[in-house]
Homo-oligomer: A and B are copies of this chain.
C-alpha cells in the first residue's frame, strides 16, 4: 500500500479507502488506485486487516469428526459456499468429546474467526462455553446437532419428517409391527426421528408398542443385539426402522442370520444414505439428508449474521426437508388392495 501511495503521490489512507470503496474518495482516484493495485498485484494482508478490525476472513467449523459420509459432505458444502464468499474455513474435530469442543472454541477465538459453525459433540450436555462467543460478538450457527429450547441460530434437517417418511413407507408396504432402533435421546436428531416414527404410526391408527422401541448407541453390534431381542419377542416385528444406516445394517445381518428373508419376512429402512447402503445386498432403503445443501445454508445464515452484526438479531431456525430413498430392503410386492399404498419405487 505504501508503494502505491508513493507512486500516486497520495497517502495510504487514500489507498485503503479507494480499495474498500469508501465514499470519501473520488471516482477518478478510485480508478487510478484500482488499476495500479492490479498492475502491482497487490494482495491485502488479511492478518493486518483482521488485527485492526477484530474480524478476519476466516470461518470456524467444529464437527464431531470429519471422516464419515455425513460430516464430510456437509463440510464440503460449507467450504464451497465460504470460498465463494471470499472466506476460508478452519475445521476442528471434537471427536465427540466436549473437552475438545471447548478447546476448539478457544482455538477458533484466538484465530479471530468472523463466525463459527458447530455441530455438537455427543458428550455436550451444557453449553456455557458458547457464551464466550456471544460476549465477543462472534456469530454462531449450529447445524444438525443443536442446542434445543434455546435461542440459537440453527440449520437442521427435519428429522421428524424423515422418521415419518420412512415409517409411513414401511406401513404402505403392508408391515404390521414396525420396530424402531433409536439413538441416544439427548440428541435432538434421534429424538425427532423417534417422534416421526410415532407420528406415522398414530396416523395409521397403529398403537405404539413400547417393546418395539430399542435404544442403542447406533453401532452395528449393539443394533444386531437389539434386533435379536426384538425377534425373541412373543410377537416379533415384521419391519425395522433404524435411526441410522449402520444400525439398519446390524439389524439386517441379524435377521438374515436367523434365517429371515429381507424384505419379505422383515423389511428394513435406515437413515443417512451411507455409501454402503447401495452396495449391501439387498440395497438398503434410507433417508437422504441433503448434506451439502445443509452446509451451504449454514454458511449463508452465518454470513448474514456477520453482515448485520450479531447483536439484537432474532435467532433463526432453518429446516431442510429430507428425502426418502426406497430400495430393496423394504420393497415388498405391494398389495394393491392396501389403501395406504402410495410409495413410489425408485429405479
Residue of B nearest to A93 (CB): B79
Given A110-B43, A112-B45, are A79 and B66 neighbors across the interface (CB < 8 Å)?
yes
Among A45, A66, A83, A104: residue with most chain B CB under 10 A: A66
Distance from A46 Cβ to chain B, minimum over Cβ atoms (Å): 5
Supposing A73-B67, A274-B275, A280-B280 touch, asked if A51 and B58 sit within 8 A by C-beta, the answer is no
Determine if A226 is an interface residue (Cβ-Cβ < 8 Å).
Answer: no
12 contacts across the A-B interface (CB closer than 8 A): A44-B110, A45-B51, A47-B56, A65-B76, A66-B76, A66-B79, A83-B107, A88-B90, A89-B90, A276-B276, A276-B279, A276-B280
CA distance A334 to B43 in the complex (A): 64
Q: Does A166 contact B (CB under 8 A)?
A: no
Is residue A80 within 8 Å, beta carbon to beta carbon, of the partner chain? yes
Report chain B residues within 8 Å CB of A268: none
Q: When chains A and B are docked, how far (Å) is the Cα of A73 from the Cα of B66?
A: 7
Interface: A331 (CB within 8 A)? no
* Cβ–Cβ contact A111 & B58, under 8 A: yes
Are A79 and B91 in contact, CB atoms less than 8 angstroms apart?
Answer: yes
Interface size class of A (residues with CB under 8 A): 35 or more
Q: Is A92 interfacial (CB 8 A cutoff)?
A: yes
Q: Which residues of B contact A75 (CB under 8 A)?
A: 66-67, 91
CA distance A107 to B43 in the complex (A): 10
Task: Find chain B residues with CB under 8 A from A67 CB.
Answer: 69, 72-73, 75-76
Which residues of B have CB within 8 Å of A46?
110-112
Given A47-B112, A50-B47, A69-B67, CB of A107 within 8 Å of CB of B88:
yes
Q: Are B43 and A47 in contact (CB under 8 A)?
A: no
Contact with B along A85-113 (1 / 0, CB 8 A): 00011111100000000011011111110
Nearest-Cβ distance from residue A196 to partner chain B, whole angstroms: 26
Q: Does A181 contact B (CB under 8 A)?
A: no
Does residue A68 face the partner (Cβ distance < 8 Å to B)? yes
Chain B's closest residue to A55 (CB) is B47
Distance from A61 Cβ to chain B, minimum over Cβ atoms (Å) = 9
A314 at the interface (CB under 8 A from B): no
Measured between beta carbons, the chain B residues less than 8 angstroms from A69 are 67, 275
**Shortest CB distance A202–B (Å):** 34
| CB under 8 Å from chain B, chain A span 193-222 | none
Is A48 in contact with chain B by the CB < 8 A criterion?
A: yes
Known contacts A66-B75, A79-B66, A280-B276: A43-B90 contact under CB 8 Å: no
Residues of the B chain whose Cβ atoms lie less than 8 Å from the Cβ of A56: 47
A301 on the B face (CB < 8 A)? no
- 8 smallest CB-CB distances across A and B, nearest first, come from A276-B276, A276-B279, A72-B72, A67-B72, A47-B51, A67-B76, A47-B50, A67-B73
Cβ-based interface call for A281 (8 A): yes
A156 at interface (Cβ–Cβ under 8 A)?
no
Determine the chain B residues whose CB is within 8 A of the CB of A83 once the complex forms: 92-93, 103-104, 107
